[in-house]
Amino acid sequence: MLTEAMIKEAKPKATAYILWDEKVRGLAVRVFPKGAKSYILMFTDRGKRVMAKLARVEETTLKDIRARAASELLKVQAGEDSVQTRRNAIRNAPTFVDLWTRYETEFVPEQISLGRMSKKTLKEYRNIARTHLLPGLGTMRVKTITKHDIEGMARRMTNTPILRNRALATCSRLFTLAERWEWRNQNSNPAKGITRAREEARSRVLSPSELKKLNGALLKLEKTYPFAVGAIVVSAMSGLRISEVLSLEWSNIDLETSRAILPRTKVGKRTIILAIPVKKILGQIPRINGSPWVFPSSRPSVPATYRQTRMVFLLACEQAGLSGCRLHDLRRSFLTMLAGAGFGAFAIRDAAGHKTLQMANRYVQQGATLSQTAEHGAALVLEKMTARHPEYDYPVGPISYVFP
């Protein structure tokens, strides 16, 4: 029978050997050539002979290991998973990399095909995963990741609160799917309950004088970048997102009825009424080389990109002496002016294409601070933005872009 003294005095040999215990059948100490010693348990599980390591000798006492070995033998006799089976399950359990791979290759294509996710959204998720989630969580087993692990990842993003919130939201979504796929226990999402950073809503609204300066700069750039400038002006005059403007196709525009169809927006398919100034702008734009896009890039088969349009916008802002401006500020300025003109939250929601009144109420609150004179002044400036340069009209034929 094994004793503590016998185990301690056991010397290594040229090959590993085993010292059996007589008190618990199947329990033994395995002594390795380099002197390491481990407690092992031999048993039959589902007709197969199994040898499972229980612990290193220095990690426990003989009394405790006998109790554990007896407990493990009872589990096997009752038909439960053995220690080796459980260990293999943990070793072969999916990692966070496996979770992301299944999400990207299985879940996302289905969502895109159902119209529940855009490729742009997937691109944002990929950037977050590859930059912040996978480096820290990638090799960890999905089932064993804890709230402490997620908090550690979030702590490294303290200086970027908005990105931190997006990363936590993405993480939470992934673990919700892990529960659905039975890779984690139900209601065990480790990303839930972690405090999100406070986000300050951006409130930059261009004043009438700033819009006038921007208009002058855009007119100077119109010869070189006609379609990018046109897209910027349409966005400013309609309140559409710049991505919605750049995705406009001639087949979805009916100038006669002043209607345009937006097949893909954040709220799904939308039909909008084209205001007279916007209709005038679209009526002056030629179809370049049969391109289906209202605002094509240098390749007629491809629409102008956000990156190209943003470059032109920033160049115009620089020339106009405007700082801290973004393309989306044009949309915010338009909707705030609607609020200042007396339009209610429901009208603004419909004009903006929002799902709820939450965002519309922001514009109503901002618009309440605008005086009637300021609203009229801004409207006049916006109307001037539809005027073509007196010595220039859109050219007919291919256009060569040289972006800075």
Q: Are residues 62 and 116 in the same domain?
A: no
β-bridge partners, 141: 95
CA angle at 279 for the pair 278 and 281, rounded to the nearest 5°: 65
Q: Please report the pLDDT score of residue 101 as a whole number.
A: 95
- Residue of 393 and 277 predicted with greater confidence: 277
Instruction: Fill in the amino acid letter for 283.
Output: G
Residue 341 covered by a domain: yes
Number of domains in the chain: 3
- Are 82 and 106 in a shared domain? no
369 is a domain residue: yes
196: left (phi over 0), alpha (psi -120 to 50) or beta: beta
pLDDT, one tens digit per residue, over 174-183 is 999 999 999 9
Q: What is the DSSP string of 5-58?
A: HHHHHPPP-SS-EEEE-SSSTTEEEEE-TTS-EEEEEEEEETTEEEEEEEEEGG
Last residue of a domain, one of 39, 56, 91: 91
Residue 400 in 3-state DSSP? coil
The domain of 154 spans 96-180
**23 in a structural domain:** yes
pLDDT reported for residue 320: 93
Tell me phi and psi for residue 239, to 5 degrees: 80, 10
| pTM of model > 0.85 | no
- Work out the number of other CB atoms within 10 angstroms of the CB of residue 238: 22
CATH of the domain at 306: 1.10.443.10
Grade residue 403 by pLDDT with cuts at 50, 70 and 90. Answer: very low
Looking at the DSSP bridge assignments, the partners of residue 31 are: 17, 37
Which helix (H) or strand (E) covers residue 114, if one does?
none
Confidence label for 374 from pLDDT (cuts 50, 70 and 90): very low
Of 76, 91, 106, which marks where a domain is finished?
91
Which of 91, 121, 145 is the last residue in one of the domains? 91
Longest dimension (CA), the chain: 105
Name residues whose C-beta falls within 8 Å of residue 345's C-beta, 6 or more positions apart in sequence: 357, 360, 361, 364
Residue with the larger pLDDT of the pair 345 and 179: 179
Counting every residue, how long is the chain?
404
